[in-house]
Structure 1
Amino acid sequence: MSNKVVVAGVGMIPFTKPGQSDEYHIMGANAAKAALADAGVDYALVQQAYVGYVYGDSTCGQAAVYGVGLTGIPVINVNNNCATGSTALFLARQAVESGAVDCAIALGFEQMVPGALKGAYTDRTGPMDRFAKTMQQIQGFDEQAPRAAQFFGGAGRAYMKEYGISRETFARIRVKTSQHAARNPLAVFRNVVSVEEVMAAPMIFDPLTRLQCCPPTCGAAAAIVCSEAFARKHGLRTDVVIAAQAMTTDRNSTFDEGDMRKVVGYDMTRNAATAVYEKAGVGPQDIQVVELHDCFTANELITYEGLMLTPEGSAEKFILDGDNTYGGRIVTNPSGGLLSKGHPLGATGLAQCFELTRQLRGSADATQVEGARFALQHNLGLGGACVVTLFQRQ
């Protein structure tokens, strides 16, 4: 038997540009306190903490939760690249579902610096070396362009080559994202941009201009998860549950098939989504709102198909028909996504949880998707990990 897992509370602090935030431990403590207050539960009742961050020394998680209380509970530090926040949620959910604990907190934060992402060590084999070698074999390597943009830009090129879509199609994703972010006071970039502005921005790696690449930001977010029995015992809300969740890593197809889309996690996404739909007994046609990993516009486009929101080869039509926004079939990234809301790596997955929990509660204010009953979350990290989570209103 397994416990039904309730998302009892969520918290998030506004994301900021690097250099404009509090230090990581303060951001983390504030997000955790916000989630506890939202749940209406005392920290003394939380039995485990899973804390995610990418750029920080060991036990940064303790430094953050110690700002909430010193209760002696296990604090597990999590680092899974850009999927770190949702990995923390995965572990907290698993602990509650299995009955190991009744209540846990998942917390994610990041204090970042300006510029492209870089590894911390140069004296050893990097975890991305095999991916970089595979990319170089497929498309070469440009010493002048950020590596992440080459990975995802290459995926965009592969899609363009197969289906003949326009570069402007990617730009339209950024326009949609900016329109959504304008509704979200927690987003970093809230100015609405046009297709022309996106296309005129400096080229980072064709087809990606600067406005199609997510910025490094600082921030924190958290979620309180507990069993339904625990929630009822303590008078907590039970209206949002995790109906299904799956985490995947790479298989041979990532490295052996010569397809940049697979190098950046398309198959991980498809496998995780398939597992989630099968476990929950629902399909993409049942989903009303999605927060997906739009680190680059190209990744949002291929993820539409990876999550089976639209059939393979139909992403351009999905975009041009407006099926990815309000009034369409599935509102994607109502928060503004990584492109506009910001992408503090360790916080991103839990910021997605924050948005989708509020959507299912009907309390998302200006970003609200009316009648949302099922909400899908997709969080991807190269190296690699993909977490797909289905939330349900009950």
Structure 2
Amino acid sequence: MGNRVFVVGVGMTKFEKPGSREGWDYPDMVREAGTAALNDADVSYDQIEQVFVGFVYGDSCSGQRAAYELGLSGVPIVNVNNNCATGSTALYLGAEAVRGGRADCVLALGFEKMQMGSLSAMYTDRSGPLDKHMEVLARKYEPQNPFAPYMFGAAAREHMELYGSTPEHYAKIGEKNHRHSVNNPYAQFQDEYTLQEVLDSRTIYEPLTKLQCSPTSDGSGAVVLVSEDFVRRHGLADQAIEILGQAMVTDLPESLGVSAISAIGSDMSRKAAELVFEQAGRTIHEVDVIELHDCFSANELLTYEALGLCAVGEGHKLVENRETTYGGRWVVNPSGGLISKGHPLGATGLAQCSELTWQLRGTADKRQVEGAQLALQHNIGLGGAVVVTLYQKAEI
């Protein structure tokens, strides 16, 4: 694994509906989130040796334009784009720089300034990154726009056919995550809904309704990553959170086979989780709190199985037994998740890291998972990449 890596500062903006804050451009977002992370770490920008900036929709070198709001120091700034896993990819690259001994103090930033409406292809004169994935899905389920809920809805249908999950199971996940977000001041939505209201909201692609789908969002997140030596020299042990294990995995042969569940990334999520637990010498049963990629409620249920919370085909049983909310075996998405907190693509992975850092520090206020000692993060992007990260309070 190389050198130990620690999170010592986190920050994020409130996630917002695009256009809801007049004049709020991406440099403003990054200045807000980045300044918060630097202040949290008690680190100045001139101590940062490398910067990794994630965004999906934007011009080349927007990462530099964003980071320049924090200072002009001449350090390397790398622009990162890995679809919805962009934020955690910036985190992964920053951690790799520290892990490999190339830097002692690194900043990972992510932002997104999104267009209203569902995600759509930006370029129509070339092959799309999801062409082959869509071919797999289209063999079983008639394609429909918008493409994202179609893909995850198709995976839910396959699970229903194979294992007996029902539309109500997916709706219960939406109800849970909206309920969790009530206590999150950073969440785009902070409204609680009954299960019936979730079921009765507009159908996007069966079995998914509107209240089971993540919204388009504007926002930013930031994380300061440092070495063990930096923690010791600057007296940061009390606030440091160690990355015990981390893995990035891209599509496997199964991803382009015959399964809709595999096409939306379950196999690469499973592989990444296995690598992380092997690195750390820990198991999923030791984890207390999880932030996972619930772009749609279907993906949360399928990710339960991919991360090993239960056997394949039994994710809906965790829902029935309330095992993934407060009072259950794990608390999954205490932030409200992507469904309710919001999903500015480049910022999502860093917001997940921020939430888990607050949970392990014991500073998550009304969202706090009592006695949280071990935290797991899962962030996926179709086309594809997944990053899984395991954290614990530093022992130095």
**TM-score where L is the length of structure 1:** 0.98
Query: Contact 1:292–1:379 at 8 Å: present in 2 too?
Result: yes
User: How do 1:200-211 and structure 2 match up within 5 A?
Assistant: 200-211=200-211
1:71 counterpart residue number: 73
The answer for unaligned runs of 5 or more in structure 1 is none
Q: Quote the residue 2:233 is aligned against.
A: 233
1:1-394 equivalences in 2 (<5 Å): 2-21=2-21, 22-142=24-144, 145-237=145-237, 239-256=240-257, 258-394=258-394
Rounded to whole Å, the distance in 1 between the matches of 2:253 and 2:285 is 30
Structure 1 position 317, deviation (Å): 1.7
* Alpha-carbon distance in 2 for matches of 1:20, 1:182: 20
1:135 maps to a residue whose letter is L
Inter-partner Cα distance in structure 2 for 1:15 and 1:198: 21
Deviation, 1:213, is: 0.9
SS of equivalent residue, structure 2 residue 140: helix
- Aligned CA RMSD, in angstroms, stands at 1.0
Shift of 1:147: 0.5
Asked if 1 retains the 8 angstrom alpha-carbon contact of 2:214 and 2:296, the reply is yes
Q: Which range moves more in the overlay, 170-179 or 21-30?
A: 21-30
Aligned-partner Cα distance in 2 for 1:231–1:254: 40
CA distance in 1, matches of 2:135, 2:158: 17
Whether the 8 Å CA contact 2:120–2:146 is kept in 1: the answer is no
- 1:136 is displaced (CA, Å) by 1.3
SS in 1 for 2:389: strand
Q: Which runs of 5+ in 2 are unaligned?
A: none
Separation in 2, partners of 1:265, 1:125: 20
Q: Which moved more, 1:303-312 or 1:47-56?
A: 303-312
Paired AA for residue 311 in structure 2: P
- Aligned with 2:8: secondary structure? strand
Structure 2 SS opposite 1:345: coil
For 2:283 and 2:118, locate their aligned partners in 1 and report how far apart those are by CA, in whole Å: 36
Q: Is the 8 A contact 2:243 2:389 kept in 1?
A: yes
- Cα distance, 1:173 vs. partner? 0.3
1:196-221 alpha-carbon deviations (Å, 9 max, x no partner): 11111111111001111110000000
What is the CA distance between 1:236 and its match in structure 2?
A: 2.4
Alpha-carbon separation, structure 1, partners of 2:255 and 2:359:
34
Aligned amino acid, residue 26 of structure 2: Y
Q: Supply the distance in 1 between the matched residues of 2:231 and 2:269 (Cα, whole angstroms).
A: 32
**C-alpha displacement of 1:131:** 1.5
- Does the aligned pair in 2 maintain the 1:41–1:236 contact within 8 Å? no
Contact 1:85 1:347 in 2 (8 A): yes
Q: How many residues align?
A: 391
Q: What TM-score do you get using the length of structure 2 for normalisation?
A: 0.97
SS at match of 2:10: strand
Output the CA distance in 2 between the equivalents of 1:303 and 1:47: 35
Q: Deviations over 1:162-181 (max 9, x none)?
A: 11122101000011101100
Cα distance in 2, alignment partners of residues 292 and 125 from structure 1? 29
What per-residue deviation string (whole Å, max 9, x for no partner) do you get for residues 340-384 of structure 1? Answer: 000000000000000000000001111100111110000000000
Task: After superposing the two structures, state which structure 1 stretch, 247-256 or 333-342, moved more.
Answer: 247-256
Question: What is the DSSP-based 3-state SS (H/G/I as helix, E as strand, rest coil) of the residue aligned with 2:392?
Answer: strand
| Contact 2:231 2:240 (C-alpha < 8 Å) held by counterparts | no
- Which consecutive segments of 4 or more residues in structure 1 shift more than 4 A? none
Q: Deviations over 1:100-151 (max 9, x none)?
A: 0111000000001111101211111111111122221232313xx3111110
Distance in 2 (alpha carbons) for counterparts of 1:373 and 1:36: 24
